[in-house]
Amino acid sequence: MKIPRSKTEAIRETQMVSLADIAFLIIFFFLLSSTFMKDRTDIALPSAPKTSNTETPITVAMDEAGKIFLENEPVETPDMLQNQLSTMLAGKTDPKECEIRFKCYKGLTYKEYKPVYEAISAAGGVIAILHDLKPEQVN
């Protein structure tokens, strides 16, 4: 006896739910088993003892109001400071002769003391010490 075939065939489907589970398990496995890139660059920073003794006779200071002083004399702008330092450092080529002590009030931001820092560098000065300034040290 012949069994008649039905004209409708069964719909074949692949279960996609289990494939999603497997994909997440693979991702999780690779996250746990892989080593993440780390910065392996070691930089040996120069170490120098902290001292307040320098050979330099030139001192630039900034107080809490952002006023600039060169050798305890007020200077109006960083450009004027640069001009004065350029004349003081004229003819000097040795870095020891071009050293400048920069005293800055602790509460000033980088944005506030950056023009003075750049003026010293543009004049040919080498900043020997950069340290905090106590209010009584200005004058």
* Confidence band, pLDDT 50/70/90 cuts, at residue 43: low
- State the pLDDT at residue 75: 92
Lowest-confidence segment of 9-13, 79-83, 102-106, 129-133 by average pLDDT: 129-133
**pTM for the model:** 0.56
In a domain, 108, yes or no: yes
In a domain, 32, yes or no: no
In a domain, 2, yes or no: no
For residue 25, pLDDT beyond 60: yes
In a domain, 71, yes or no: yes
Q: Which of the pair, 12 or 67, is modelled with greater confidence?
A: 67
Listed in order, strand segments (DSSP E) in the chain are: 59-62, 68-70, 73-75, 99-105, 126-133
For residue 8, pLDDT beyond 80: no
In a domain, 107, yes or no: yes
Beta strand 99-105 pairing with 126-133:
parallel
Mean of pLDDT over the chain? 77
Domain that residue 110 falls in: 59-137
In a domain, 50, yes or no: no
- State the pLDDT at residue 139: 46
How many domains does one find in the chain? 1
In a domain, 27, yes or no: no
